[in-house]
Structure 1
């Protein structure tokens, strides 16, 4: 017959092994996790830090419109790319491709929408090429930019011009990210903007 003290000792040791296996510190590292699984609420709650860092931004083809949670409908009405003398723009000497994007913003809600007074809350960002290089957003032609108005009445529309400079050779995979107020809404990410170039 097995000694009682020995059997209790074996049981305690086996329990310790099970607890060690279940210890959260033994969780897989982020490199072994699949970010696409963050859409599953159970996976997302079990891996909160990982899923926050890998939250996907919905993408919209440049030929389509997107509607924000505050009722603003946004669409790109035109985009053009041209090679120019970089001295005419506030950019570096190697950035001589200018991309101009006209974005129409329509208030589809029932109330007047007030835009933020801090222009830093408005995001207009262009990236391009295989490595998503950031275009320079300060490429304002010396005539000056078109800004958002202070407010937009229900049913009203406004067109905003965004101008960027980038290096030649990055005409593929152009992505335009826009947000009229980053403190209240998510970004809109328009893909394949180069298909709209005139």
Structure 2
């Protein structure tokens, strides 16, 4: 009987101390698909959007969103168009707290490419600006295009658009023309690690 009690106590202890209660952020991982899944679902064909792989020939593609969860933005995902192999300045700015990331990245032309960034901390409800700006030295206007999701009837996006814990609140395109506001949703994905 003592052996059975000891075995049960040991088994219960192992289960208790090895379970994840999500209060420990050291074992949470960066979910690169966090914002990508929200963009794909919210701006889907079923919801009246077209996925335009290479559109909007302006230097900066920018949008604002709100993440209603606390954590950190840990990756950025983008895809270079077929007309450009160079780099972009990628920015993530927490407009509420002032935290930010700015780095130069070059992405794959064959698909969405996620790259690690210095984390930007987010408290639930913070407003975040995300933007990509083509680097100086591009040689043709068609190199400034990027992937966006646009209403099939060519009307402006009716922001705010909510999908799960993510609220997309506006977009703007500018540089070498523009600004053009809310004409489409830039396809710039973010990875998020929930605390």
Q: With structure 2 as the length reference, what TM-score do the two structures score? A: 0.29
Indicate the structure (1 or 2) with the bigger Cα radius of gyration: 1
Q: With structure 1 as the length reference, what TM-score do the two structures score? A: 0.29
Structure with bigger helix share is 1
Structure with bigger strand share is 2
